[in-house]
A and B are shown apart, each in its own frame.
Chain A
């Protein structure tokens, strides 16, 4: 039975229509280019990037921060379906969880790429390595990220295995895990936020508002991505996703973006009204500091994109128009990517603790490597989603023989 299942799944992954093959081919090319640049980075050391002592965390950590948010957003689907029993979301929860798996895998890849001595990653394994827990928030991050990855993998594999075998889920097994995934998602986010906000040396980050802002922006970016993906899935596969499900997710996202913009407004007020010496990183980001203004166009376009997306989503009739909804999703994805990536990480280091300004922007190597990591993550997601849809629609396995609606 297992061998047959593996054979069938293998066939699903390796066969597909032209679009699937072109998509996977494109991603493979990006991944291979990224990997070739990784060789360069291993050979030369991290000097091959644009990071220096003054800005010691850069593009890789920026992507990592954004992806942690993406991973946590699976909870936006879990809460309505399992806790509020909003049935139309049922088809898509698993795909959200597969996205969480892909996002956390990308996070782990970015961390390994950013570490100076990556072959010593085993130092971070509890009991085998030398783990400074509970003092270091990084150790907490290692624990919760891996826990979230294992949790989501378990949920997905369990659900798909049961569906394949034609049996209903065992509620006693799956419901505690699902309920636990909600605080787990919040925790990966909060712990990552604590990484930054706990550093008194960096006044741009050392504010309690960072943790709620992370959650608010994560719940915008993740579902934005998912909404577009679900529409693609509706068009290219047999999986039926009701309009109602997508509209509900869009509604939730609208309020999350409201919270995000409100928290941004709060930060702006605090910095500009109190106007202490700590306003320097804020000024560097929004207005330029002593002639250094390369981040300014990025953050302004990001916040304008977020605001436009909010205005589109807040009006139900515009929100229900799929063309406008997709524009809003694109805007939100871009806005949160910049806000949480460049708009959070880079100004934390500029100006530095002793007032130095190093105008950091990622170089070609960093950009190609991160594209490669995204490509690998998207490949994981595509493969996972394809298997999931094939099993759920009954293309392989015995899904159609399951007695009751679960």
Chain B
């Protein structure tokens, strides 16, 4: 073997270094094909069914009934293959002083009350609990600002992310007024026994959020959070259907939407009339890991 002098060593080292950077060529090719043509490969489940014709989906959350048990949060996490590295999960449940939508700790206590907290305190009957998730806005700012069109709004009202097109620029996260979007800072890992085959697994470097369980709602079911709520505080339905529960609730009960003045047209309505809270459904569950100390 030729004697390894300094030049040879530097050449070898730089080639080896560059080699560690090289991605698997087959995977890159398959990835590029997915991005260009976007069709499911042979044998792959259709992750995003076709939009339902003439539908306008929306959700109603009754703050009078919500006890803050956070079952919706955990069920959503399991249903949508949300890894532990996405924190908090798609649904955030705030404990607030009043049913006003004033989340966040504003500077004037007389005006806005003492603020709210996302952290898991002992549940109380005199507090209000408010789940916040993606509102699938009619005029979604995240859809408007996405440079590749990875975030798009379908005619049936759902705002969906195409994970193959997302370049991870996070402009949508900057634009969302509701803090609904999550970024995969880590490579996500979901334990094999917890994977739901109907929902795609994401990779590092893409943004994800609540999809109104697109794989369920477009196949005639409810979203998982609506199904799981023990107090029936949540309702999901088609606003174009004249007999739907959601339409009746929004028309007849006192309600508000979050940050309406921004004209984003959110599709989650919150009912404010106090009702009987069935606290017996509350059983303590372990809180998810809080990553990197978020203060309020």
Contacts and interface: CB of A to CB of B under 8 A. Distances in A.
Nearest to B152: A132
Interface in A314-373: 348-349, 351-359
Interface string B253-268: 0000000001010000
A104 to B, nearest CB: 18
A138 B145 contact: yes
Interface string A286-304: 0000101000000000000
A42 B21 contact: yes
A56 interface: yes
A131 B147 CA distance: 6
A283 B85 CA distance: 31
Q: Which of A53, A115, A142, A357: most chain B CB closer than 10 A?
A: A53
A290 B105 CA distance: 10
A53 B173 contact: yes
User: Taking each of B21, B205, B262, which has the highest tally of chain A beta carbons within 10 Å of its own beta carbon?
Assistant: B205
B149 to A, nearest CB: 4
7 contacts: A53-B185, A116-B170, A116-B205, A199-B141, A277-B111, A354-B92, A358-B292
Contacts of B173: 53, 56
Interface in A132-173: 132, 135-139, 142
A29 interface: no
Contact of B169 (A45, A114, A198, A292): A114
Interface string B278-296: 0000000000000111111
Given A56-B174, A355-B296, A356-B295, A137 B145 contact: yes
Given A52-B291, A116-B168, A119-B28, A47 B186 contact: yes
Interface stretch (A5-13, A95-103, A122-130, A258-266): A122-130
Contacts of A348: 174
A115 B168 contact: yes
A354 B205 contact: no
Interface stretch (B62-70, B112-120, B192-200, B236-244): B112-120
B175 A45 contact: no
A277 B109 CA distance: 11
Nearest to B92: A354
A277 B107 contact: yes
Contact of B20 (A39, A54, A137): A39
Contacts of B100: none
At the interface, is chain A mostly helix, strand, loop or mixed?
A: loop
B54 interface: no
A21 to B, nearest CB: 19
B261 to A, nearest CB: 9
A198 B171 CA distance: 11
B106 interface: yes
Q: Which of B173, B176, B207 has the most CB of A within 10 A?
A: B173
Given A45-B204, A120-B148, A355-B115, 14 more contacts: A45-B205, A47-B85, A116-B166, A116-B167, A120-B165, A123-B35, A123-B167, A136-B147, A142-B147, A201-B175, A201-B176, A280-B107, A351-B105, A355-B103
Given A47-B186, A355-B116, A116 B177 contact: no
Interface of A: 39, 42, 44-47, 51-54, 56-57, 114-121, 123-124, 129-132, 135-139, 142, 195, 198-202, 277, 279-280, 283, 290, 292, 348-349, 351-359
Contacts of B166: 116-117, 120
A379 B288 CA distance: 47
B182 interface: yes
B174 A356 contact: no
B222 interface: no
Contact of A202 (B28, B85, B174, B181): B174
Given A51-B185, A358-B292, A201 B28 contact: no
B76 interface: no
A356 B35 contact: no
Contact of A132 (B21, B108, B118, B147): B147
Contact of B177 (A54, A353, A356): A353
Contact of A116 (B108, B178, B206, B291): B206
Given A116-B205, A138-B169, A355 B148 contact: no
B187 interface: yes
B104 interface: yes
A129 B87 CA distance: 31
Given A129-B148, A353-B178, A39 B21 contact: yes
A200 B148 contact: no
B134 interface: no
B51 interface: no
A237 B156 CA distance: 67
B28 to A, nearest CB: 7
A355 B185 contact: no
A277 B294 contact: no
Nearest to B88: A53
B184 interface: yes
Contact of B295 (A202, A349, A353, A357): A357
A201 B262 contact: yes
Give the 8 A-B CB pairs with smallest separation, nearest first: A116-B168, A355-B104, A116-B205, A201-B177, A117-B205, A138-B147, A47-B185, A117-B168
A256 B11 CA distance: 50
Contact of B183 (A56, A136, A359): A56
A348 B169 CA distance: 16
Nearest to B162: A130
B250 interface: no
Given A355-B115, A357-B295, A53 B177 contact: no
B82 interface: no
A139 B167 CA distance: 13
B148 A131 contact: yes
A142 B92 CA distance: 34
B81 to A, nearest CB: 18
Nearest to A114: B169
Given A114-B169, A117-B205, A138-B171, A354 B148 contact: no
Contacts of B145: 135-138, 198-199
Contact of B149 (A56, A130, A137, A283): A130
A402 B167 CA distance: 50
